């Protein structure tokens, strides 16, 4: 795993010790890292790969850009971003789970040519980057799990350049009762048995309460505007099971 060094252009900011809640979430993601991709496939019925490609497209990342993938997990979005920006660009994959970052690093090494990605262990609420540092950003399945959603959005706004766009992908609690029932069936009939078989039932028990407390799209737009973003749009996907919040920083 690569951490920012003295030679990196990213400035250092104090990360601060995690709260108990943050430490618990960090521990969960370290423990589920070995089966994270497999369970994402089950939970989304394989569609998360399509949604991630859409997310990268909505980030407006271009060749030569410097991009951030926040809460990068096992690296899917970071690798897609690296393909988008090409050899003249660069990507920083950031997560506070060292186990997830190690898997991401190993996965990136299997690509040819190797993507230009720096893997950074950091807290989404205390990003170790200078203001106005990134041309574009993505975030996959991270906003729902941070302990301070407004604070995370403010940090994202801070590190983006004026006019830059971020696309934030996550599972949601759908408003339609039939879609809710289908989502609950997927969790109980697919995810829980797979997690149990891997000894991770308790770790995946957090999904349902995290979905129930996650703000709906309209509230996410409001939070994004309060964080300073000039433009915010929410795109529901798969009947509201999934959604992408697209936010753009104003031109100074």
Domains of the chain: 20-172+215-248 (3.40.50.150)
Looking at residue 18, its pLDDT comes to 44
Cα distance between residue 199 and residue 187, in whole Å: 16
pTM: 0.82
Q: Which residues of the chain have pLDDT under 70?
A: 1-20, 30, 32-46, 198, 201-206
Q: In this prediction, what percent of the chain has a pLDDT beyond 90?
A: 52
Q: Is the peptide bond before 113 cis (omega within 30 degrees of 0)?
A: yes
Residues 114 and 89 sit within 8 Å (Cβ to Cβ): no
Cα distance between residue 193 and residue 233, in whole Å: 35
Looking at residue 20, its pLDDT comes to 40
Looking at residue 167, its pLDDT comes to 98
Average per-residue pLDDT for the chain: 84
Looking at residue 191, its pLDDT comes to 72
Looking at residue 45, its pLDDT comes to 65
- Tokens 């004026």 belong to residue: 162
Residues 52 and 70 sit within 8 Å (Cβ to Cβ): no
C-alpha torsion angle, residues 209, 240, 153, 121 (rounded to 10): 70
Looking at residue 9, its pLDDT comes to 36
């Amino acid at each position: 795993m690569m951490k920012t060094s003295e030679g990196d252009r990213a400035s250092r900011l104090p990360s601060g010790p995690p709260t108990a809640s943050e430490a618990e979430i960090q521990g969960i993601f370290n423990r589920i890292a070995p089966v994270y991709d497999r369970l994402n496939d089950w939970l989304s019925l394989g569609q998360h790969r399509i949604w991630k490609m859409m997310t990268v497209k909505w980030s407006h990342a271009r060749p030569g850009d410097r991009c951030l993938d926040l809460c990068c997990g096992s690296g899917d979005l970071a690798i897609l971003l690296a393909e988008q920006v090409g050899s003249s660009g660069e990507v920083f994959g950031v997560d506070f789970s060292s186990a997830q970052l190690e898997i991401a690093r190993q996965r990136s090494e299997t690509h040819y040519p190797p993507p230009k990605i720096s893997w950074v262990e950091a807290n989404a609420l205390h990003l170790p980057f200078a203001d106005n540092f990134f041309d574009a950003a993505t975030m996959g399945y991270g906003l729902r799990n941070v302990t301070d959603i407004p604070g995370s959005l403010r940090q994202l706004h801070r590190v983006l350049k004026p006019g830059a766009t971020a696309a934030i992908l996550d599972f949601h609690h759908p408003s339609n009762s039939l879609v809710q029932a289908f989502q609950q069936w997927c969790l109980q009939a697919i995810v829980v048995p797979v997690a149990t078989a891997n000894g991770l039932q308790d770790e995946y028990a957090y999904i349902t309460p995290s979905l129930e407390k996650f703000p709906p799209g309209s509230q996410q737009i409001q939070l994004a505007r309060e964080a300073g973003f000039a433009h915010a749009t929410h795109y529901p996907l798969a009947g509201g099971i999934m959604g992408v919040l697209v936010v753009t920083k104003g031109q100074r």
